[in-house]
Amino acid sequence: PSIPPSLSAGDTSVLAGLYGPSETKLSKELPDRAALEVLLRPKVGLPGVLERSREQQLRQTCEAVVLGVLHPRTAITLVLQVLSDAGSLLSCCLNAACLGLLDAGLPLSSLFCGVTCALSPDGTITLDPTARQEQEARAVLTFAIDSSERKVLMATTKGSCSVEEMQQCLVTAQGATDTIFQFYRDSLRRRYSK
């Protein structure tokens, strides 16, 4: 485990702790690659069905970038603790997860970042919405976009929208990733220049 990175976007804050590659139980180990496990703990209450669903999405996103074949029969555990939620929680978790993976020094094929778009009833796209904007929106779309070719790693939608609106949101999200990846670079530079 390394000093866990905590990511705050506005008032939304998520703490990520990464452990691994480490020893695992025989029942969980995979013979050809690392077994990734994600645990998402909400701010209040016990983890429920929503957290399980988010964990599955985060796990499969991380599995797509982590080069697990370099560490077979090991376990990589990612624990995310929600400190405060003021909107765009899933993308905050995605960004925290990626920074955690980077900080732990795990071999990755590319980086990824999470972007949330809210579609208001009149059609305007708001990036990184607050909780209030999310509630008033007609649809909220979250994408995980990779750093190498800006392709979509993960997509979730809430509410309904037309196909054109979804494509527009995707393009806007892809444009925003430059800022986020620059932020990754800056934070890592700061960390390693001490």
Told to check if 93 binds other proteins by CB under 8 A, we report no
Told to check if 58 binds other proteins by CB under 8 A, we report yes
């996103």: which residue's tokens? 61
29 conformational bin, left if phi > 0, alpha if psi -120 to 50, beta if neither: beta
- The stretch near other proteins (CB under 8 A) out of 83-91, 122-130, 155-163, 176-184 is 155-163
User: What single DSSP character describes residue 66?
Assistant: B
User: What single DSSP character describes residue 68?
Assistant: G
- The stretch near other proteins (CB under 8 A) out of 4-12, 76-84, 85-93, 168-176 is 168-176
Token readout for 133 is 């904007």
- The stretch near other proteins (CB under 8 A) out of 9-17, 46-54, 72-80, 122-130 is 46-54
Told to check if 158 binds other proteins by CB under 8 A, we report yes
Residues 184 and 102 sit within 8 Å (Cβ to Cβ): yes
Cβ contacts of residue 170 below 8 Å, gap of 6+?
141, 143, 152
Q: Which residues are near other proteins by CB under 8 A?
A: 49-50, 52-53, 55-64, 141, 144, 146, 149, 151-163, 166-167, 170-171, 174
